[in-house]
Amino acid sequence: MTTDPADPPATPAPTAADPAEPAGAPVEAVSCTGLTHTFGDTKAVDGLDLAVRQGEVFGLLGPNGAGKTTAIRCITTLLPVPAGMVRVFGHDAAKERMGVRRLLGYVPQQLSADSGLTGRENVALFARVFDVPRRERAARVDQALAAVDLADAADRLAGTYSGGMVRRLELAQALVSAPRLLILDEPTIGLDPIARTGVWEHINAVREATGMTVLVTTHYMDEADQYCDRVGLMHRGRVRALGTPVELRRGLAERQGTETLPTLEDVFRDIAGSGLDDNTGGGFRDVRSTRRTARRVG
Ligand SMILES: Nc1ncnc2c1ncn2[C@@H]1O[C@H](COP(=O)(O)OP(=O)(O)O)[C@@H](O)[C@H]1O
Ligand SMILES: [Mg+2]
Residue range 56-97, pLDDT digits in tens: 999 999 888 999 999 999 999 999 999 999 999 999 999 999
Number of CB atoms found within 10 A of residue 219's CB: 17
Ligand nearest to the CA of 281: 1
**Distance from Cα 282 to the centre of ligand 1, integer Å:** 7
Q: State whether the Cα torsion 197-203-209-212 is positive or negative.
A: negative
SS3 assignment, position 242: strand
Q: Phi/psi of residue 34, each to 5°?
A: 60, 25
For 207-249, the pLDDT digits (tens) are 999 999 999 999 889 999 999 999 999 999 999 999 999 999 9
As a whole number of angstroms, the distance between CA 61 and CA 68 comes to 8
Q: Report which protein residue has its CA nearest ligand 1's atom 24.
A: 65
**Distance from Cα 289 to the centre of ligand 2, integer Å:** 9
Question: Does residue 236 have its Cβ closer than 6 Å to ligand 1?
Answer: no
Residue 14 contacts residue 43 (beta carbons within 8 Å): no
**Considering the chain, what percentage of its residues have pLDDT values greater than 70?**
84
CATH class in words for 30-108+179-297: alpha beta
Ligand nearest to the CA of 236: 1
Q: State whether the Cα torsion 27-31-34-39 is positive or negative.
A: positive
The residues facing 86 across adjacent strands are 32
Ligand nearest to the CA of 71: 1
Residue 124 contacts residue 76 (beta carbons within 8 Å): no
Helices within 40-109 (DSSP H only):
68-75, 97-101
Q: Report which protein residue has its CA nearest ligand 1's atom 6.
A: 39
As a whole number of angstroms, the distance between CA 240 and CA 271 comes to 7
What per-residue confidence (pLDDT) applies to 7?
45
SS3 assignment, position 221: helix
Which candidate, 181, 180, 176, 182, places its Cα nearest to that of 136?
176
- pLDDT band at residue 2 under the 50/70/90 scheme: very low
Residue 91 contacts residue 40 (beta carbons within 8 Å): no
**Distance from Cα 186 to the centre of ligand 2, integer Å:** 7
Question: Taking the model in full, what pTM does it have?
Answer: 0.85
- pLDDT band at residue 288 under the 50/70/90 scheme: very low
What per-residue confidence (pLDDT) applies to 280?
43
Ligand 1 atom showing the smallest separation from residue 62 Cα: 22
Average pLDDT over every residue of 258-267 = 91
What per-residue confidence (pLDDT) applies to 19?
53
DSSP 8-state secondary structure symbol assigned to residue 160:
G
CA dihedral 152, 157, 161, 167 (to 10 degrees): 90
Question: Does residue 90 have its Cβ closer than 6 Å to ligand 1?
Answer: no
* Continuous segment of H or E residues that includes residue 185: strand 181-185
For 127-169, the pLDDT digits (tens) are 998 888 999 999 999 999 999 999 999 999 999 999 999 999 9
Question: Does residue 190 have its Cβ closer than 6 Å to ligand 1?
Answer: no
As a whole number of angstroms, the distance between CA 296 and CA 167 comes to 11
**Distance from Cα 223 to the centre of ligand 1, integer Å:** 23
Domain boundaries, given as residue ranges, for the chain: 30-108+179-297
Q: Report which protein residue has its CA nearest ligand 1's atom 5.
A: 39
Q: Report which protein residue has its CA nearest ligand 1's atom 11.
A: 44
- pLDDT band at residue 51 under the 50/70/90 scheme: very high
Residue 229 contacts residue 58 (beta carbons within 8 Å): yes
Which of 13-27, 28-42, 69-83 is predicted least confidently? 13-27
Instruction: Report the alpha-carbon angle 227-232-236, nearest 5.
Output: 135
What per-residue confidence (pLDDT) applies to 271?
86
Question: Does residue 108 have its Cβ closer than 6 Å to ligand 1?
Answer: no
